[in-house]
Chains A and B, each alone.
Chain A
Amino acid sequence: MSVPAIAIRKLVKRFADTTVLQDIDLEIPEGKVSCLIGPSGSGKSTLLRCLAFLEEPTSGMITINGEALGFFEDDNGRRERLPANQIRAVRTKTGMVFQQFNLWPHMTALGNVSEALKLVRKVPKAEAEERAMAQLRKVGLENRAGHYPSQLSGGQQQRVAIARALALEPKIMLFDEPTSALDPELTGEVLNVMRDLAAEGMTMVVVTHEIGFAASVGQQISFLDHGRLLFSGPPAEIFAKPRHPRLEQFLDTYLDRGASMLA
């Protein structure tokens, strides 16, 4: 069997004495779109932040394309922190997109996208900007290259943020509620860019409240509640016949909301 894009083994995350994630075991296959759903406080964002090494797991191990992320843990639970340059190298295999975009306000769209190429990959300025321009074209914003984030709409900012994350040509893209900070009218343009990426075969892990997106684009749906992974499987299995009572209840609230909109 081929190496999964991401393998999570017995992952535990605690903040002080609250356990946010409890024994998460999950494999994310290469080239698939994997959606993490669940109510607020279920731990789905924390799980994604662990994959980006923005949170350090309390125990357990994550591998990205077979390489340990941050810590190496042997079968006896002995853990060793990996050197900083190794951590940075593994991190650049993933691209991260945030709910709040987190573009750097003092740089243009082009500057935001080309910065890591110049600094991390040491690509010469002209070539870095050319490659950054290609990414902006991909998200449909080449005509906004010279604009600062404050001059762009939320949807445009998020598309620039996606281009920035793509610039280093990661194997895996991580999305943390990428449309939650956007007006309903602007979510469409961001979801379309994500659909294009999925169609290209990019491995994607998406934390989302867009159940429609999860159902139509997701190939693996994982449901978290109170820090536990309650269910993981193909969308048909989850949405058509949710057998788990907690999942059923969760999906009902979405149906309710849709129904109340029609009324």
Chain B
Amino acid sequence: MMFDPQVIIEKLPEIGSGLFVTLWLWIAGVLGGVVAGFIVATARRFGGKIVNAVLGTIVEVLRGTPFLIQIFLLYYGGPFVGLMLDPIPCGLIGLTVYSAAYYSEVFRAGYASVPVGHVEAAACLGMTRFQTISRIQVPEMALIVLPPAINLAVILLKESAVLSIITVPELTATVSAIGSQQYAFLEAIFVLAIVYWIIVELTDRLGRMAENRLSRLRFSKA
């Protein structure tokens, strides 16, 4: 068997559309996960013991089971409880919920990284909880949570390949289909690896730029 890039080049438009689906599902899942994860972490911190225990258990279950199984349950098990979802909405919901669980842990660590005294100083000056979160805690934790948040985004990109098993027409599904139709498995898998790797590299670059910028903004001489 020869390595024949021609097969892949012919199918570039199809690969492009698969890539597009992967990209938007991934970005939406990460953004949704960041927002939901922040809300969960905030609710766990300030919502009292019961809220913390309930949300904590849900997060543990989501982190403790494989994404593959969660997606299977949601897609094939959903109809048994009246939840009929098309592959793409199902994938989006699954990815968002899964990433929210992990992002909530990132923000939990972020909250814990802000010294109690900094929050007490705000309270003594009569700031409300919302003012303290938005002006003190979030800016202080930003630099701490950025590296693990980017790292998590990279992991989620690769996890999104799992969505191919519920027939979401994303990158992995598209390229493997091309591979089987054309009997060009090696080429297909190779292209897949390269494309994921390029996106990961770009994301890392972007993350480092954001980090540099943030630290310059915060601690430069005025």
For B115, give the chain A residue with the smallest CB separation: A102
Q: Quick check: B139 and A106 within 8 Å, CB to CB?
A: yes
Given contacts A54-B123, A96-B121, A105-B219, 9 further A-B contacts (CB under 8 A): A52-B124, A98-B121, A103-B121, A105-B140, A105-B218, A116-B125, A147-B222, A148-B218, A164-B125
Q: Quick check: B135 and A102 within 8 Å, CB to CB?
A: no
Contacts of A151 in B (CB 8 A): 221
Asked if A115 is an interface residue, CB under 8 A from chain B, the answer is yes
Contacts of B218 in A (CB 8 A): 105-106, 148
For B218, give the chain A residue with the smallest CB separation: A106
Give the interface size class of chain B: 20 to 34
Smallest CB–CB gap between B110 and chain A, Å?
A: 13
**CB-contacts of B120-135 with A (<8 A):** 120-121, 123-128, 131, 135
Smallest CB–CB gap between B146 and chain A, Å?
A: 13
Contacts of A147 in B (CB 8 A): 221-222
**CB-contacts of A110-141 with B (<8 A):** 115-116, 119-120
Q: Quick check: A146 and B117 within 8 Å, CB to CB?
A: no
The docked-state distance in angstroms from the alpha carbon of A108 to that of B131 is 18
The docked-state distance in angstroms from the alpha carbon of A119 to that of B126 is 9
Please name the 10 residue pairs, one residue from A and one from B, whose CB atoms are nearest each other, closest first.
Answer: A146-B222, A102-B117, A116-B125, A92-B126, A96-B124, A102-B121, A88-B126, A120-B126, A106-B218, A106-B139
Q: Which of B117, B120, B136, B222 contacts A108 (CB 8 A)?
A: B222
Q: Which of A54, A89, A104 contacts B126 (CB 8 A)?
A: A89
The docked-state distance in angstroms from the alpha carbon of A88 to that of B140 is 23
Q: Quick check: A119 and B135 within 8 Å, CB to CB?
A: yes
Q: Quick check: A150 and B124 within 8 Å, CB to CB?
A: no
Q: Quick check: A104 and B118 within 8 Å, CB to CB?
A: yes
Task: Map CB proximity to B onto A164-193 as digits: 1 under 8 Å, 0 otherwise.
Answer: 110110000000000000000000000000
The docked-state distance in angstroms from the alpha carbon of A96 to that of B118 is 12
For A98, give the chain B residue with the smallest CB separation: B117
Q: Which of A94, A96, A102, A165 is packed against the most chain B CB atoms within 10 Å?
A: A102
The docked-state distance in angstroms from the alpha carbon of A106 to that of B140 is 7
Task: Map CB proximity to B onto A200-220 as digits: 1 under 8 Å, 0 otherwise.
Answer: 000000000000000000000
Q: Quick check: A104 and B140 within 8 Å, CB to CB?
A: yes
Smallest CB–CB gap between A123 and chain B, Å?
A: 13
Q: Quick check: A91 and B222 within 8 Å, CB to CB?
A: no
**CB-contacts of B91-144 with A (<8 A):** 115, 117-118, 120-121, 123-128, 131, 135-136, 139-140
Asked if A100 is an interface residue, CB under 8 A from chain B, the answer is yes
Asked if A38 is an interface residue, CB under 8 A from chain B, the answer is no
Show the binding face of A for B, using Cβ within 8 Å: 52-54, 88-89, 91-92, 94-96, 98, 100, 102-106, 108, 115-116, 119-120, 146-148, 150-151, 161, 164-165, 167-168
Contacts of B127 in A (CB 8 A): 116, 119-120
For B131, give the chain A residue with the smallest CB separation: A119
Q: Quick check: A54 and B139 within 8 Å, CB to CB?
A: no
Q: Which of B118, B131, B139, B221 is packed against the most chain A CB atoms within 10 Å?
A: B118
Q: Quick check: A115 and B126 within 8 Å, CB to CB?
A: no
The docked-state distance in angstroms from the alpha carbon of A95 to that of B120 is 12
For A110, give the chain B residue with the smallest CB separation: B222
Contacts of B120 in A (CB 8 A): 52, 54, 96, 98, 102
**CB-contacts of B60-89 with A (<8 A):** none
The docked-state distance in angstroms from the alpha carbon of A53 to that of B140 is 24
The docked-state distance in angstroms from the alpha carbon of A53 to that of B218 is 31
Smallest CB–CB gap between A102 and chain B, Å?
A: 4
Smallest CB–CB gap between A262 and chain B, Å?
A: 36
Known: A104-B136, A106-B140, A147-B221. A120 touches B125 (CB 8 A): yes
The docked-state distance in angstroms from the alpha carbon of A147 to that of B120 is 22
Q: Quick check: B124 and A95 within 8 Å, CB to CB?
A: yes
Task: Map CB proximity to A onto B195-222 as digits: 1 under 8 Å, 0 otherwise.
Answer: 0000000000000000000000011011
